[in-house]
Chains A and B, each alone.
Chain A
């Protein structure tokens, strides 16, 4: 089976009076690895269940490949799903678990009967199923544990059995619902690599739901950020990170969280904090309050004040090995900022007053509704570039 494209067209879904998904449109190319991310309760799992066919949308349509599957039941959509709880059948061994989708599809009802199934010609088909499972198990390194039940497997092994059950029948798409959230940190990092490798090897279209933005950024070809039932941004991981379209995207993606500073935008299109101009060239048609955002790694700390710097006090340092996080508080307000700096930078210690500015073009502006305000001209920052560059 070849990888299929997935198209969602203004899909909406509600439960009772609550709108869970509101007009979601998304096109996923064949073979693409797309991560659906958002905070819990944003509707990402619901969206995945709609793609799987476990729920029906109230409005809109869903296509897998060329086929409109909006009203097709899950069993007939030819997609495979990996569940958060793995949903392995506890009474079956790993081998039998992986056999289920093949047996269900290739054997008719009479052949599936226990004991007497062989009279109806189940034998050769079962032998074929057994061969395919051996092959899949070998590629997932499950060979030695194939005859154990899920309760006798470790978390990582269960995860791989669930992946094996999904991949044995070569579906048109993989749907994964937070598949790594039940694993411990080390195993999670390891399984990320395994899933990405698996995707590269099989080339199957994959939709991956997670609340862990770091997981999404590190694994996916494209990231779709879903909040309050709406898609706020869809794009490559670096684009979503560097160029967020919405304040909610900026704050959700990236750890530690992006720094926020309240400011105002003047009729000259310059965003200021107090008297300090931080970002110029914005559309000046809507003067008023504005949120200015700066990633922690773009924070520049200096002992001397510069033309685009804000005074702040270092409250606490957090050692992280190769780098340190400096937690600061603006002196002219209440906002707390985090700066990510290489470890061992001299002159930065708790209690000191320093001056905060941003790397060239690093400040982002959002209006009160959270929409991104983009600089229209070439000038993307103001201030002494010379002073900023060495930071």
Chain B
């Protein structure tokens, strides 16, 4: 912060170093930066600290006496079968959604970029699910996936395949939710990949062709894929983060059921905090949730970043 303030003032010029520091300018800098600092403190730092503190307690909303339980809160969390199921389900959901959403995004971006007519029409069409309201669209999905008279199962039956009870069976509910998740996120990935593709130096493709890259696959491996590295890393990161944060379709369609088969992290936290009003354990879960995300992010930025930037 101090560095930023110093850089922002002309006093940072080398010849001014010998001159005594201009106090009034420093004060002005503090006054100017003050409101933003206060807001950051009030809106970002304090809530985080509050959640961290609460996570070490057994606080419940409406119960006046609460105690500090320390790390026991986290021990209980790990022993809780419901929480463990919720972590496994979330991991499964992420594992289903991320590769499909990223792969679909890349594939469609490549198709659109390959001089397709109506390019902008496709681009906005694929982007529609991203801007649509999840809860509203959930009703459409409920209708589509309805085992009785739903179009999806009608189609499956017509082609001689068994139509599962998508949202009603514990075997298929995660897959069904993952399909909805893919549908909702891949459009954004298309747009991100398109931006990445347009930034690739055209001369590299010319060089690949001259060097004997005859097939589209050769040029993809030699130029497109390595050049898209930073974009792909970013797309994978935000797709994972968004998948970990899955909540609305669960709340609207399955409420964690049947039989906890679609219990995911955010839904469990929501239940704990807002239905059972147990603030302490809910905070502990929230902290665990953020910790998982942070670890994922760290791995990506530290390990992968070095492999996709060629500077």
**Chain A contacts to B: CB under 8 angstroms:** 49, 52-54, 73-76, 79-81, 83-85, 87-91, 100-101, 104-105, 109, 149-151, 165
Contact = CB atoms under 8 A, between A and B. Distances in A.
B162 to A, nearest CB: 38
A89 B213 contact: no
Nearest to A165: B211
Contact of B206 (A76, A87, A88): A87
Nearest to A49: B206
Contacts of A75: 209-214
Contacts of B311: 151
A105 B229 CA distance: 26
A180 to B, nearest CB: 16
A54 B208 CA distance: 11
A136 B91 CA distance: 51
Contacts of B207: 81, 83, 87-89
Nearest to B310: A90
A91 B212 contact: no
Contacts of B218: 104
B209 A87 contact: no
Contact of B210 (A74, A89, A91, A151): A74
Contacts of B203: 83-85, 87
Interface of B: 201, 203-204, 206-215, 218, 222-223, 226-227, 229, 310-311
Nearest to B226: A91
B310 A81 contact: no
B226 A89 contact: yes
Contacts of A101: 210-212
A104 B310 CA distance: 22
A151 B310 CA distance: 7
Contacts of B215: 109
Contacts of A104: 211-214, 218
A151 B214 CA distance: 27
Contacts of B206: 49, 52, 54, 74, 81, 83, 87
A149 B309 CA distance: 11
A79 B206 CA distance: 12
23 contacts: A52-B206, A52-B210, A54-B206, A74-B209, A75-B210, A75-B212, A75-B213, A85-B201, A85-B203, A87-B204, A89-B226, A90-B226, A90-B227, A90-B310, A91-B226, A91-B227, A100-B208, A100-B222, A101-B210, A104-B214, A105-B212, A109-B215, A165-B211
Contacts of A74: 206, 209-210
Nearest to A104: B212
Nearest to B229: A91
Contacts of A105: 212
Contacts of B214: 73, 75-76, 104
Contacts of A90: 226-227, 310
A149 B308 CA distance: 13
A90 B311 CA distance: 8
A304 to B, nearest CB: 58
A89 B204 contact: yes
Contacts of A149: 310
Nearest to B204: A87
A8 to B, nearest CB: 19
Closest 8 CB pairs of A and B: A104-B212, A87-B207, A91-B226, A87-B203, A101-B211, A90-B310, A74-B209, A75-B214
Contacts of A81: 206-207, 210
A52 B212 CA distance: 12
A91 B201 CA distance: 13
Contacts of A84: 203
Contacts of A109: 215
Contacts of A100: 208, 211, 222
A53 B214 CA distance: 13
A161 B60 CA distance: 68
Given A91-B229, A100-B222, A104-B218, A73 B212 contact: no
Nearest to A149: B310
B212 A89 contact: no
B309 to A, nearest CB: 9
A81 B212 CA distance: 12
Contacts of A87: 201, 203-204, 206-207
Given A87-B201, A87-B204, A89-B223, A80 B310 contact: no
B234 to A, nearest CB: 17
A80 B210 contact: yes
Residue from A53, A75, A85, A109 having most chain B Cβ neighbours under 10 A: A75
Given A74-B206, A74-B209, 17 more contacts: A52-B210, A75-B209, A75-B210, A75-B212, A75-B213, A81-B206, A81-B210, A87-B201, A87-B203, A87-B204, A89-B223, A91-B310, A100-B211, A100-B222, A104-B211, A109-B215, A149-B310
Given A89-B223, A91-B226, A104-B218, A79 B210 contact: yes
A248 B212 CA distance: 39
Residue from A53, A100, A150, A165 having most chain B Cβ neighbours under 10 A: A100
A165 B204 CA distance: 13
A54 B213 CA distance: 12
Contacts of A83: 203, 206-207
A2 B223 CA distance: 30
Contact of A89 (B209, B222, B229): B222
B36 to A, nearest CB: 36
A54 B209 contact: yes
A89 B204 CA distance: 7
A83 B211 CA distance: 12
Residue from B209, B212, B213 having most chain A Cβ neighbours under 10 A: B212
Residue from B227, B310, B311 having most chain A Cβ neighbours under 10 A: B310
B41 to A, nearest CB: 40
A73 B210 contact: no
B179 to A, nearest CB: 32
A90 to B, nearest CB: 4
Nearest to B311: A151
A210 B222 CA distance: 28
A52 B203 CA distance: 13
A73 B222 contact: no
Contacts of B226: 89-91
A79 B215 CA distance: 18
